[in-house]
Copies of this chain bind each other. A is one copy, B any other.
Amino acid sequence: MKKELDLIKDCGQKILAISDTMEILNGKWKMSIIACLCYKPMRYSELLKEVKGISGKVLSRELKDLEINELIEREVLTTAPVAVEYRITDYGTSLKQLTDTIADWGFIHRQRIISGMKTG
């Protein structure tokens, strides 16, 4: 009985922690952007190509959000036609494992779908 209560209590803390994370990583794009920048620094236009489906406006906002949370850094390169490079921060790399786990599950889920939704 007490053991059950402990479980619930523990569960409560976990729920809170998950809510925290989902608050930071809301929207469908942030994890993709993070994963992208974990590979290498990229420019705005590169991200626009790599993160398929995202629009310019949304990419701008998401990048700002991520920068505010210190997950990525923005550097303006004073080159000829002006370039901006986005990089993952040390703190941002702490999300790498998370992106890996999410990607892994995505693969599995896709396999499950294309294998015809065989009844589990």
Contacts and interface: CB of A to CB of B under 8 A. Distances in A.
Interface of A is mostly: helix
Copies of the polypeptide in the assembly: 2
B50 A19 contact: no
Interface string A1-44: 00010011011101111111111101011011001100110000
Q: How large is the interface on A (under 10, 10 to 19, 20 to 34, 35 or more residues)?
A: 35 or more
Contact of A15 (B51, B104, B120): B51
A38 to B, nearest CB: 8
A24 B89 contact: no
A17 to B, nearest CB: 3
Contacts of A4: 40
B89 A21 contact: no
Nearest to A19: B32
Contacts of A110: 17, 20
